[in-house]
Amino acid sequence: MSKLTLDDLRKLRETKKREMSQRDMEIKDTQVIVGMGTCGIAAGAKETFNAILDELDQRGVHNVALKQTGCMGLCYSEPTVEVILDGMPPVIYGKVNAEVGRRIVDQHIVGRRLLNDHIFDKPAADILQ
Amino acid sequence: MTTAASRCSIRIEDDGCGMDETTLARAVDPFFTNGEKHRNRRFGLGLPFLKQQIETVGGTMEIQSEPGRGTTVDFAFDQTHLDAPPVENLPETVLTMMNFPGDYELLFERHGGGGSYEVSRCALLEALGGMDTALELTLAKRYIRGLDEEFTP
């Protein structure tokens, strides 16, 4: 991989933004939040985070916000991932390893179907703000 | 054993409320917190854990802070120290550090083999306009990976 400069990044960002597809616009405002507290990181949340990012990139889905948060209080089911997608219930998935992270992109974000075997919770009122 | 030739240095800097001398002196005490972030909590483990880990691998750590001017934490460690954890995928690790929410500067430097590179979170944010979306993160990852691949002997 050739080295990029910060100026290259600025240009690439502008080019990619112009190329964003209709599908990208449809899933705008989608948030994927990975629990990256000590418990999450110890359980492999960094690998999950990067697998989700890689899968989004491979599918050309660039509009999703991928964020981190601390412990969601479900340490027994780390790594945890919350998905907020317009028109679907917000859910927290648990035991999300890299492979499940890729399935979340494929099934939930692109296919708009829940992964029933990994749903652990829906966000509590205090997390929803 | 530590050598200057294989060092990772990290600086985290904010422009928050800062700490007075008394608070700063207790910042690495695990049984101290100012209680502002979590009202009922009586301990704070972040900086104490960092200090412990850094000392384990023969690194250095320094905290500078002043009320009203913010806080700067500098730490450095040798990747090849006997007790250092495996580096694994360093660009991905740096990316997840940079993506951590908040308004702060994180400067990562890697030295070794006669070369070095640095990644500044503020410079990345300025170039990318943010670091939240998959697009921005993917580009940031390509940037960091490019620097690291060119650096690695």
pLDDT in tens, B36-83: 777 777 777 888 999 999 999 989 999 999 999 999 999 999 888 888
What residues contact residue B22 under an 8 Å CB cut-off, 6+ apart? none
Residue B5, pLDDT > 70, answer no
| Least confident window among A18-22, A49-53, A85-89, B129-133 | A18-22
- The pLDDT score that the predictor gives to residue B1 is 36
- The pLDDT score that the predictor gives to residue B88 is 78
**Who among B93, B134, B139 is closest to A13 (CB)?**
B139
pLDDT digits (tens, 9 = 90+) for A81-93: 999 998 888 999 9
- The pLDDT score that the predictor gives to residue B153 is 53
Which of the pair, B151 or B123, is modelled with greater confidence?
A: B123
Q: In degrees, to the nearest 5, what angle opens at C-alpha A44 toward C-alphas A40 and A46?
A: 85
The answer to whether B139 and A13 have CB atoms below 8 angstroms apart is yes
Chain B, residues 67-126, CB within 8 A of chain A, namely 89, 92-93, 95-96, 99-101, 123-124, 126
The answer to whether A34 and A48 have CB atoms below 8 angstroms apart is yes
Flag if A16 and B139 touch (Cβ within 8 Å): yes
Residue B133, sorted as left (phi over 0), alpha (psi -120 to 50) or beta, turns out to be: beta
Tell me, rounded to whole angstroms, the distance of Cα B51 from its chain centroid.
12
The answer to whether B60 and B14 have CB atoms below 8 angstroms apart is no
ipTM, 2 decimals? Answer: 0.82
Residue B132, pLDDT > 80, answer yes
Please report the sign of the dihedral spanned by the C-alpha atoms of residue B78, residue B80, residue B84, residue B89: positive
